Amino acid sequence: MSADLAITNGTIVDADGIRRADLRIENGVVVEVGEKLDGDTVIDADGLVVSPGFVDLHTHLREPGDEEAETIQTGSRGAALGGFTACVVMPNTNPAIDSLAVVQQVLDAASDALCEIVPAAAMTIARAGEQLAPMAELVRAGVRIFTDDGTGLQNARLMRTALEYAGGLNHLTDGFDVVLAQHCEVESLAAGGVMHEGEWSSVLGMPGQPAEAEELMVMRDIALARLTGGRVHFQHVSTRGSVSMIRAAKEAGLAITAEATTHHFTLDHSACQTYDPAFKVHPPLRTEDDIAAVKVGLLDGTIDAIATDHAPHTRQAKERPFLSAPPGMLGLETAFAVANTELGADIEQLVRLLSVNPAYIAGIDDRHGGRIEAGRPANLTVLDLDEEWTVTGAAMASRSTNTPYEGRTVRGRVRHTFWNGDHVVDMGEATR
Amino acid sequence: MTATSLRQRGPKHLLSMADLDRDDIEQILNLTESFAEVSERSIPRVPALRGKTIAWLFYEDSTRTRLSFETAAKRLLADTMNFSVGSSSVNKGESLRDTVETIAAMGIDGIVVRHGAAGTPRQVSEWTDASVVNAGDGWHQHPTQSLLDLYTARQHLEDLEGKHIAIVGDIKHSRVARSNALGFSAMGARVTLVAPPTLLPSTLDAWPVEVTHDLDAILEELDICYLLRMQLERQGQAVVPSLREYHTEYGLTSARADRLPNDALIMHPGPMNRGVEIAGEVADRPAAVITEQVANGVSVRMAVLFLLLGSGLDVVDEQRAIA
């Protein structure tokens, strides 16, 4: 009989709610949940929360193409330290994930990862917005989410086509509806904008993107979801108008889901006044009013998931002028603590937003999210909700340091992470 | 507030007019007067910055501003170092930070930066111990232009308190407009921006200004009509239907200039598009102080370089020393 491990005295929070229970893990699987359990190794989780591992719907790990900024191995270590046991990795790599070969390359590179790497594939070849990627072939290889993230698919006719075509792939997925995830940004209106268009862009003398550049595409794709019956996921929702439209579309019964990033509910456009490109991100940091609307959307269920949009960039890339620096911020290692500190959600809501709902959206709820019960793979994280710590980019596992929370004190720390029973984070340290 | 307040506060950089309050500006303008007197001498030199080294870091074409800064530095006997972007390692892909650290390693006291991207001088200031002067950053700020404009206006109008200045033209893309809106309002003047909506930022909530689209409605009450250069390529971006229409609606035509009060000033940061934002004939009227602005630019930049880079002496002492 192989060695087993027990987590005792903890508070389990999962899709079923909150309860006090011990659990025992053996051969990578939760084998028992109950009272007074024992094992060869015992982790005393007194005062701690035991949650299904987090699932990030929106991660950029830069491999292949920009391994100086991040690799799947370094990024997944950061993910594990952040409590994540699965990351949906975005296809804006170089080359883009738009073929079976690149999906296989990513999965091969994930062989030494510290969490499950779930490749999303591009909707269109090379993310160029012109020709559909071989969606059926990619779905057969396991892909469930398609996105041209980094840009939105501008052509409405092609978006309609993609939604219609995706609707014919259910026989390859045991009935799961393939997700088209959209980065909403109408380029002709956002063109050249490097921050939110408002009083700060006006004073700072930088071209802005109006909220409407996002909202017009949200509006269009809600209409196309209605037209086609297709399943649309809105990525990194950042404006009050987007939240309102998504709420109304869900009330109308459309198959729509949405995510918001931690930075879009914690940082506003005034952060750009130092011209520090750490605060450059797409969609841009918006207004306090937008932040309030995104928070309400997360708390009332309009927005289903917290995503990181973890986007590493090298020091030299982020030391360019704000105008020409690449957009993006780190997020994996801070998401839970920032949400725990700033969102005003209880732990049950946080577990739904960080684990249960995103696992369902990504079609990986057979092994992530859901319930902690006997027979399920041991994808778990153990959380201290009260520990305070100070964010430092240099201390992160990521190869890059572009966190927007440098120096900020946050509350909530990941103590342990188990991925298929593998103890990848032990007492807050990655084990490999 | 004493004449030494700015110096005592120890400002290291000049990045934006937002960094200066009215007392600061008056101190710089007063010092400018002393240096203007130096410039009129037969040998216009004072050794106020002897032994100091200033580097020019110009990432954007500039003839006028650069010549003005170079002349100012020479009159103060500073050593200067020219970092010519066109023929430098920048074209070989060197990062801005590496460039700045390379120059700084040679031992410099000041860097004068012009860059097409807003905020670049501020970034540079974080990568070097030298003083940084913003010589124009994108659409953001051009503080020495504003100071020379304030100096020129003050020479003619004395006190700017309550005076009414219209800034006319492409506000949205103009660092001169952003600097002067702050500079003139800091001095107590009333600032009105005049432009079509397509040449204004989408919001002006944080600006200390009024706005109109009707230049004709305010001409008679102006003390200064400040015209901005119309970027000719804006026409192609369809923000104005045509330069002809722009000239008709927003240009300072002869007829409009006739309606200005007799003692009103006509100003322009240069270079002018005669026949677009200003009628050719109007630019040559006595009320147009455009070449005075250029002349004053040298003295203002002497004052700024001296304030930031001068030796530990009190400003008043040094003024006495150079007198």
For residue range B203-212, list pLDDT tens digits in order: 999 999 999 9
Question: In chain A, which among 292-321 make CB contacts under 8 A with chain B?
Answer: 316, 319-321
How far does B321 lie from chain A, in Å, by closest CA?
Answer: 38
Q: Are residues B35 and B157 in the same domain?
A: no
Q: At B222, give phi and psi (nearest 5°).
A: -85, 145
Instruction: Provide the pLDDT for residue B232.
Output: 76
Query: By the CB < 8 Å criterion, does B139 face chain A?
Result: yes
Rounded CA separation A298/A230 (Å): 23
Contact A181, A233 (CB under 8 A): yes
Q: Output the six-digit token pair for A196.
A: 């939110």
Cβ separation A206–B139 shorter than 8 A: yes
Query: By the CB < 8 Å criterion, does B140 face chain A?
Result: yes
Pairs of CB atoms within 8 A across A/B: 70
Instruction: Provide the pLDDT for residue B236.
Output: 59
Instruction: Provide the pLDDT for residue B1.
Output: 34
B116 neighbourhood in chain A, CB within 8 Å: 323
Q: Are residues B270 and B182 in the same domain?
A: yes
Q: One of A304, A309, A365, A422 is an active-site residue; which one?
A: A309
**A389 to each of A337, A382, A411, how far by Cα in Å?**
9, 16, 6
Instruction: Provide the pLDDT for residue B321.
Output: 53
Nearest CA in chain A to B121: A321
Rounded CA separation B276/B227 (Å): 10
CA atoms within 13 A on the CB side of A412: 21
Instruction: Provide the pLDDT for residue B314.
Output: 46
Nearest CA in chain A to B206: A199
Q: Are residues B110 and B215 in the same domain?
A: no
* A40 in active site: no
Instruction: Write down how long chain B is.
Output: 323
Query: By the CB < 8 Å criterion, does B170 face chain A?
Result: no
Q: What percent of chain A has pLDDT over 90?
A: 99
Which regions of A152-287 does DSSP assign to beta strands (E)? 179-182, 195-196, 208-209, 231-234, 256-261
Query: By the CB < 8 Å criterion, does B85 face chain A?
Result: no
B143 neighbourhood in chain A, CB within 8 Å: none
Contact B308, B13 (CB under 8 A): yes
Mean pLDDT of chain B: 90
Q: Is the pLDDT of residue B313 over 50?
A: no
Instruction: Provide the pLDDT for residue B181.
Output: 98
Rounded CA separation B80/B77 (Å): 9
Instruction: For residue A307, give the nearest of A37, A120, A156 by alpha carbon.
Output: A120
Task: Give the closest of A198, A203, A321 to B115, CB-based.
Answer: A321
How far does A322 lie from chain B, in Å, by closest CA?
Answer: 7
Q: Could you report how far apart the first and last alpha carbons of chain A are, in Å? A: 25
Cβ separation B138–A275 shorter than 8 A: no
Cβ separation B203–A199 shorter than 8 A: yes
Cβ separation A275–B123 shorter than 8 A: yes
Q: Is the pLDDT of residue B298 over 80?
A: yes
Cβ separation B206–A274 shorter than 8 A: no
Rounded CA separation B212/B217 (Å): 9
- Under the banding of pLDDT at 50, 70 and 90, the label for residue B312 is very low
**Worst-scoring range by mean pLDDT, A51-65, A131-145, B74-88, B140-154?**
B74-88
- Under the banding of pLDDT at 50, 70 and 90, the label for residue B264 is very high
Rounded CA separation A394/A410 (Å): 16
Query: By the CB < 8 Å criterion, does A199 face chain B?
Result: yes
B141 neighbourhood in chain A, CB within 8 Å: 205
Rounded CA separation A89/A92 (Å): 9
Q: Are residues B211 and B309 in the same domain?
A: no
A197 neighbourhood in chain B, CB within 8 Å: 202
Give mean pLDDT, residues A123-143.
97
SS3 call for A118 = strand
Instruction: Provide the pLDDT for residue A346.
Output: 98
Rounded CA separation A240/B317 (Å): 58
Give the mutation candidate from B15, B173, B203 for the A interface (greatest A CB count, under 10 A).
B203
Q: Give the H or E element holding residue A351.
A: helix A347-351
Nearest CA in chain B to A201: B201
Task: Give the closest of A198, A199, A321 to B117, CB-based.
Answer: A321
Contact A182, A235 (CB under 8 A): yes
- Domain total in chain B: 2
Instruction: Convert the pLDDT of each residue in B147-168 to its tens digit.
Output: 999 999 999 998 999 999 999 9
Instruction: For residue A76, give the nearest of A27, A118, A43, A139 by alpha carbon.
Output: A118
Instruction: Convert the pLDDT of each residue in A266-321 to its tens digit.
Output: 999 999 999 999 999 999 999 999 999 999 999 999 999 999 999 999 999 999 99
A274 neighbourhood in chain B, CB within 8 Å: 122
List the domain boundaries for chain A.
4-49+376-430, 53-361
Nearest CA in chain A to B199: A202
Contact partners, residue B75, CB within 8 Å, separation at least 6 = B35, B38, B39, B44, B45, B46, B298, B302
Q: Are residues B308 and B252 in the same domain?
A: no
Cβ separation A206–B141 shorter than 8 A: no
Cβ separation A323–B202 shorter than 8 A: no
Domain region containing B129:
5-142+297-322
Q: Are residues B283 and B152 in the same domain?
A: yes
Location of structure tokens 């003024």: B319
Instruction: Provide the pLDDT for residue A3.
Output: 87
Give mean pLDDT, residues A78-93.
98
Query: By the CB < 8 Å criterion, does A324 face chain B?
Result: yes
Nearest CA in chain A to B127: A319
Contact A334, A79 (CB under 8 A): no
- Under the banding of pLDDT at 50, 70 and 90, the label for residue A393 is very high
Rounded CA separation A90/A156 (Å): 22
SS (H, E, C) chain B: CCCCHHHHHCCCCECCHHHCCHHHHHHHHHHHHHHHHHHCCCCCCCHHHCCCEEEEEECCCCCHHHHHHHHHHHHCCCEEEEEEHHHCHHHHCCCHHHHHHHHHHCCCCEEEEEECCCCHHHHHHCCCCCEEEEEEECCCECHHHHHHHHHHHHHHHCCCCCCEEEEECCCCCCHHHHHHHHHHHHCCCEEEEECCHHHCCCCCCCCCCEEECCHHHCHHHCCEEEECCCCHHHHHHCCCCCHHHHHHHHCECHHHHHHCCCCCEEECCCCCCECCCECHHHHCCCCECHHHHHHHHHHHHHHHHHHHHCCCCCHHHHHHHHC
Q: Is the pLDDT of residue A327 over 90?
A: yes
Q: At A51, give phi and psi (nearest 5°).
A: -125, 155
Rounded CA separation A30/A420 (Å): 9
Instruction: Convert the pLDDT of each residue in B67-119 to its tens digit.
Output: 999 999 999 999 999 887 765 555 566 788 998 999 999 999 999 999 999 99
A202 neighbourhood in chain B, CB within 8 Å: 201-207
Q: Output the six-digit token pair for B306.
A: 């001296």
Q: Are residues B34 and B118 in the same domain?
A: yes
B115 neighbourhood in chain A, CB within 8 Å: 321
Q: Output the six-digit token pair for A58.
A: 């929106």
Instruction: For residue A23, give the nearest of A31, A240, A88 by alpha carbon.
Output: A31
Give mean pLDDT, residues B232-248.
81
Give mean pLDDT, residues A175-195.
95
Task: Give the closest of B97, B119, B207 to A319, CB-based.
Answer: B97
Rounded CA separation A2/A5 (Å): 10
Q: Are residues B125 and B162 in the same domain?
A: no
Instruction: Provide the pLDDT for residue B3.
Output: 42
Distance of CA A338 to the CA centre of its chain: 14
Distance of CA B288 to the CA centre of its chain: 17
Instruction: Provide the pLDDT for residue A68.
Output: 97
Query: By the CB < 8 Å criterion, does A279 face chain B?
Result: no
Q: Output the six-digit token pair for B269.
A: 């940061």
Give the mutation candidate from A189, A314, A323, A324 for the B interface (greatest B CB count, under 10 A).
A323
Cβ separation B205–A322 shorter than 8 A: no
How far does A244 lie from chain B, in Å, by closest CA?
Answer: 23
Rounded CA separation B199/A243 (Å): 31
**A410 to each of A341, A386, A391, B133, how far by Cα in Å?**
6, 9, 7, 37
Q: Are residues B21 and B85 in the same domain?
A: yes
Instruction: Convert the pLDDT of each residue in B52-66 to its tens digit.
Output: 999 999 998 888 899
Q: Are residues B191 and B241 in the same domain?
A: yes
B17 neighbourhood in chain A, CB within 8 Å: none
How big is chain A by its Cα radius of gyration, in Å? 21
Location of structure tokens 């990848």: A424
Instruction: Provide the pLDDT for residue B2.
Output: 41
CATH class of A53-361: alpha beta
Contact partners, residue A403, CB within 8 Å, separation at least 6 = A278, A329, A330, A333, A334, A391, A393, A396
Instruction: Convert the pLDDT of each residue in B180-225 to its tens digit.
Output: 999 999 999 999 999 999 999 999 999 999 999 999 999 999 999 9
| Domain A4-49+376-430 and domain A53-361 have a common topology | no
Q: Are residues B43 and B23 in the same domain?
A: yes
Instruction: For residue A74, give the nearest of A396, A414, A427 by alpha carbon.
Output: A396
Nearest CA in chain B to A197: B202
Rounded CA separation A115/B218 (Å): 67
Task: Give the closest of A197, A276, A321 to B202, CB-based.
Answer: A197
Contact A51, A383 (CB under 8 A): yes
Nearest CA in chain B to A209: B202
Q: What is the dihedral of CA B275, B281, B287, B292, to 10 degrees?
A: 70
Query: By the CB < 8 Å criterion, does A409 face chain B?
Result: no
A320 neighbourhood in chain B, CB within 8 Å: 95-96
Task: Give the closest of B97, B120, B202 to A202, CB-based.
Answer: B202
Cβ separation A202–B175 shorter than 8 A: no
Instruction: Provide the pLDDT for residue B211.
Output: 98
A206 neighbourhood in chain B, CB within 8 Å: 118-119, 138-140
- Under the banding of pLDDT at 50, 70 and 90, the label for residue B8 is low
Contact partners, residue B117, CB within 8 Å, separation at least 6 = A321, A322, A323, A324, B137, B138
Contact A123, A180 (CB under 8 A): yes
Instruction: Provide the pLDDT for residue A414.
Output: 98
Q: Which CATH architecture does the domain made up of A4-49+376-430 adopt?
A: Roll (2.30)
Cβ separation B95–A205 shorter than 8 A: no
Give mean pLDDT, residues A247-253.
98
Question: In chain B, which among 187-206 make CB contacts under 8 A with chain A?
Answer: 201-206
Q: Supply the DSSP symbol for A270.
A: G
B137 neighbourhood in chain A, CB within 8 Å: 205
Contact A265, A343 (CB under 8 A): yes
| CATH number of the domain residue B13 falls in | 3.40.50.1370
Q: Are residues B280 and B189 in the same domain?
A: yes
